[in-house]
Amino acid sequence: MGIGNDRVSMLLKGERVDMVPVFPLGIRAFAALGVGYTMGEAYSDGEKSCRAELWAQEQYGFDGFPNFAYGPFGAWEFGGEIKFPEGEFQQAPMAVRYPVISEEDVWTLRVPDDISTAGAIPIGMAHSLTAAAAGATVMTPNAGVFTTAGNLCSVQKLARWMIKKPSLAHRMLELSRDFLIGMVQLWVDTFGKDILMYNAEPSAANQVISARHFEEFVLPYSIEVHSAALRMGIKHIMTHICGDQNLNLDHWTKIPMGDPGLLTFGHEVDLHTAIEKLGESSVIMGNVEPSLIQNGHPNDLYDACRAAIKAGKGAPRGFVLMSGCGFPPKTPPYNFFTMVKAARELGKL
Amino acid sequence: MASDEKKAEILKGLHDSVVEYEEEKTVEVANEAVAEGLDAFEAIMGGLAKGMETVGDLYVRQEYFVPELLLCADALYAGLEVLKPHLKAESHAEPRKIILGVVEGDIHDIGKNLVKVMFDAAGWQVFDLGADVKIERFAEEQKKCGAQVVGLSALMTTSMLAIPRIIKTLRDSDSTVRVLVGGAPLNPDIAASYGADGYADNAGEAVEQAMKMLQQA
Ligand code: B12
């Protein structure tokens, strides 16, 4: 158990690597389809989901480690309802009933007594146990504190409360914070401190909120969750800074990420800017546009990988070629191979 | 009848209270408009809708974000509720109709909701099917309500693959219907390759695009 031996884990340990690693973010649905499982099983069956990722890793020869985090995280765990992906066009679970509907619900909602049995936590745990058994780096399965809060009451309700009823918004964030800290503790108790904490903040993107609201509602709670994880002995936090977060980047520099952290960016953030602002303390990962990965001509995708590698290669703590967001499950296998090929041919260090 | 000066003051009041997302003030000014005998259609278009247009610009310039927009929309709807019952028969004789929905498999509905606000503000009758809408439902609903335009939103590369299928079912059922699409992974080229009649990058442009499509029809 502990930190694995793939190239991304080597960067975390400060070791030299021979090439830019490729680490597709959240590849489980693509991986599941590739071994004949259903898209639903990629989320509903932790063991199969993790095994599919490990097999895909063997097949394509990429780096990194299995990851179980999913977008609507929190809704089910707090007593709401989610739907697993089933049809042809889904790629992730979706919330169908939020635990918080009315303003009164905010004050009666509690962090689940036993986090280990809440919602998808047992599935995430089965996923991590499978990863640990295979010698891969283990990572917690959560989303970020703001995104989780949005998943408890809907982002749109949270957004309105931030302006009109800030005390309700802050309460949602406190609940989310306490839950996340409890969950990270459960993972540390189970796997020890040589694991990674994961964080993803799509709902904090500037497509949704301003930097001013980030400062008030995302920053303080993220600092609390990350600091708590680091106090537990976790050394590295992987954070997916999802979407357009250009206006938030200065705030992200104030959130402790461990040494080094692992920061992943969407195509909306320029890699040079990311490296300049955050590259001294974190490994920078990114940021090939998912839509190009799924729909692009292999030559265009290869060119986009070339541009990303060129921009990222010199990052002081290392660079990892990654999809800008969740790896599109319907990607043609040759396009994924193209990313691996680009790193092999253009990413020699 | 209100004086020109009074009228201008009321229209500005409606505009400003929407932009400053002051719901109660919007209702207050809307009531004043009614009391002063202002034409409801003019109050909506020249006050509330103008306000929402300004809000759209502020969003594009990244001065406003989704929380502000949602509250502006709340103010707009509160004002509409006061003014709509006072619309004269001829001004709402044949409102243009649009069906909006986020495609199957996708729950990203913030963008679609903002697009809906813009169509409401522009006086369209909007049939909102919500998120994760099954393929066949668009054509079924279009048949029922006779909307001239169907607006499809998709935020993921997986879910956007539903768009060409929806367009086919729509065309099979009514060859005159116009399809407008939007959402982050789309662009004008993908939209055209899917057989859509129009694409808009943001909520502000959506109404303009829809109007253009209807003129071409
Ligand atoms: C907020 C967000 C979420 C929230 C959504 C909350 C909600 N109720 O909507 C949550 C956290 C729940 C979420 C979940 C997921 N998300 Co998300 N999310 C985002 C994010 C950061 C912002 C989207 C947003 O709300 N923007 C604000 C609105 C105002 O803008 P907009 O939607 O673009 O709409 C504007 C225009 O596009 C246009 N428009 C939109 N629709 C229409 C329709 C018409 C007719 C017209 C004319 C115009 C138009 O006008 C709108 C207003 O100006 C985007 C990043 C991005 N690049 O968009 C990722 C993003 C969409 N998510 C992504 C992913 C992968 C996911 C998940 C799959 C993650 C996971 N593995 O679980 C899940 C999927 C859940 C599901 N089954 O649908 C990826 C999709 C990538 C891909 N493969 O295609 C994105 C693109 C991130 C990225 N950088 O790649 N997400």
B134 in the same domain as B74: no
In whole angstroms, what is the distance from residue B29 CA to residue B51 CA? 13
Give the residue from A58, A56, A53 showing the smallest Cα distance to A69. Answer: A53
Surface-to-core class of residue A113, CB atoms within 10 Å of its CB (0-12 exposed, 13-18 middle, 19+ buried)? exposed
- For chain A, the average pLDDT equals 95
Task: Tell me the C-alpha distance between A76 and A5, whole Å.
Answer: 34
Closest to A177 (Cα-Cα) out of A209, A157, A147 = A147
Predicted local distance difference test score (pLDDT) of residue B90 = 64
Say if ligand 1 is within 6 A of residue B49 CB: no
Sheet of A282-288: strands edge to edge? A196-200, A236-241, A261-265, A282-288, A319-323
Q: Which whole number is the average pLDDT over A50-65?
A: 95
Tell which of B91, B106, B137 closes a domain.
B91
pLDDT at B2: 75
Are A181 and A217 in contact by the 8 Å Cβ rule? The answer is no
Q: Which residues of A touch B159 (CB under 8 A)?
A: 89-91
**Close Cβ partners of B145 (under 8 Å, ≥ 6 residues apart):** B97, B99, B127
B85-120: b or e for each residue (b if 16 or more CB lie within 10 Å)?
ebbeeeeeeeebbbbbbbbbbbbbbbbbbbbbbbbb
Task: Judge if B130 and B23 occupy the same domain.
Answer: no
Instruction: Verify that B76 and B102 share a domain, yes or no.
Output: no
Do B83 and B117 share a domain, yes or no?
Answer: no
The residue of B61, B107, B132, B189 whose CB has the most chain A CBs within 10 angstroms, and thus the best one to mutate to test that interface, is B107
Does the structural domain A7-346 have CATH classification 3.30.70.20? no
| pLDDT band at residue A125 under the 50/70/90 scheme | very high
Domain boundary residue among B91, B109, B125? B91
Say whether A13 sits in a helix, a strand or coil. Answer: coil
In chain A, where the domains are located: 7-346
Q: How far is A37 from chain B (nearest CA, A)?
A: 17
Contact A281, A257 (CB under 8 A): yes
Summarised one tens digit per residue, pLDDT across range A185-197 is 999 999 999 999 9
Distance from CA of B162 to the nearest CA of A (A): 7
Report, in angstroms and rounded to the nearest whole number, the Rg of chain B calculated over CA atoms.
Answer: 18
Tens of pLDDT, residue by residue over A59-100, are 999 999 999 987 789 999 999 999 998 877 888 899 999 999
pLDDT given for residue A72 in this prediction: 84
Interface touch A156/B158, C-beta < 8 Å:
no
pLDDT (tens place) for every residue of chain B, 217 residues total:
678 899 999 999 999 999 999 999 999 999 999 999 999 999 999 999 999 999 999 998 999 999 999 999 999 999 999 998 998 866 556 789 999 999 998 989 999 999 998 999 888 999 999 999 999 999 999 999 999 999 999 999 889 999 999 999 999 999 899 999 999 889 999 999 999 999 999 888 999 999 999 988 6
Task: Quick: pLDDT tens for A195-207.
Answer: 999 999 999 999 9
CA distance B175 to B172: 7
- Residue B69 confidence (pLDDT): 94
Mutate to test the pocket of ligand 1, among B53, B108, B113, B117 (most ligand atoms within 8 A of CB): B108
User: What does the pLDDT read at residue B91?
Assistant: 59
Query: Which of A207, A244, A291 has most ligand 1 atoms within 8 Å of CB, for mutation?
Result: A207
Closest C-alpha among A283, A293, A290, A213 to residue A245: A213
Residue A139 has pLDDT above 90, yes or no: yes
Same domain? B20 vs B65: yes
Domain with B33, as residue range(s), is: 4-91
pLDDT, residue B199, reads 97
Query: Is the CB of B110 less than 8 angstroms away from the CB of A85?
Result: no
Question: What CATH code is carried by the domain that includes residue B41?
Answer: 1.10.1240.10
Q: What's the domain count of chain B?
A: 2
Residue predicted with more confidence, B90 or A276 = A276
pLDDT tens digits for range A144-179: 999 999 999 999 999 999 999 999 999 999 999 999
Q: Chain B neighbours among A 219-258 (CB < 8 Å)?
A: 247
**Average pLDDT value for residue range A288-292:** 93
Give the model's pLDDT for residue A260. Answer: 97
CB A339 within 8 A of CB A24: yes
Residue showing tokens 């690693």: A21
Whole-model pTM: value is 0.93
> Is the domain of B139 the same as that of B211?
yes
* B106 and B159 assigned to the same domain: yes
CATH code of B146's domain: 3.40.50.280
Q: Are B198 and B125 members of one domain?
A: yes
In this structure, the answer to whether residues B113 and B84 fall within a common structural domain is no
pLDDT the model gives residue B89: 67
Instruction: Name the 3-class secondary structure at A232.
Output: coil
Are B78 and B106 within one domain? Answer: no
Residue that is last in its domain, among B49, B74, B91? B91
CA–CA separation, A147 and A200 (whole Å): 8
State whether B31 and B86 are in the same domain: yes
Percentage of residues in chain A with pLDDT exceeding 90? 91
The closest alpha carbon to A155, from A172, A134, A133, belongs to A172
- Pocket flag, ligand 1, residue A208 (CB < 6 Å): yes
